[in-house]
Amino acid sequence: MIAQYTQAAIVSELKRLATPASVDSIPSSAMQEDHVSMGWGAARKLRRAVDGLARVLAVEVLTAARALDLRAPLTPAPATGAVVALLREAGVEGPGPDRHLSPEIQAAVDLVLDGRVRAAAEQHTGPLR
């Protein structure tokens, strides 16, 4: 459940980051200037949102792979199996004893961010758009 709690917290942060940066605009100079560059703040929020989304997707991949392991001997579709195999090659283990998940979540994040999860699936599906 820790992975799901982590994901829920990130999704809550993503909802907060979705508030437009322009709501922080403050009139100044006796109402003569009410424009403030919101670009820098919006870009920082976007960067945090992209990072958060990568973490949410990584936890989804991690937990889906674990669920598939628990359904053995059923086998997933080829694209899904390729992603699970990629996770295992990266040292992300399947179900087992309780353990610290942060390294496994980070490994999954790295696979999502560098495009290897998508590439593994695309070997079987063709381009995903």
Give the number of domains in the chain.
Answer: 1
Say if 27 falls within a structural domain.
no
Say if 25 falls within a structural domain.
no
Query: In this structure, what DSSP letter does residue 33 have?
Result: B
H helical segments located in 19-115? 39-70, 78-89, 102-113
| 28 three-class SS | strand
Say if 28 falls within a structural domain.
no
Task: Quote the domain boundaries for residue 102.
Answer: 2-19+38-125
φ, ψ (nearest 5 deg) of residue 91? 90, 10
Say if 101 falls within a structural domain.
yes
Please give the model's pTM, rounded to 2 decimal places: 0.81
Say if 30 falls within a structural domain.
no
Cβ of 39: how many Cβ atoms within 10 Å?
A: 9
Say if 31 falls within a structural domain.
no
Peptide bond into 73 cis (omega under 30): yes
Instruction: Per-residue pLDDT tens, the chain, 129 aa: give them.
Output: 678 888 889 999 999 999 887 777 777 777 666 556 677 888 999 999 999 999 999 999 999 999 999 998 999 999 999 999 999 999 998 888 888 889 999 999 999 999 999 999 999 999 998
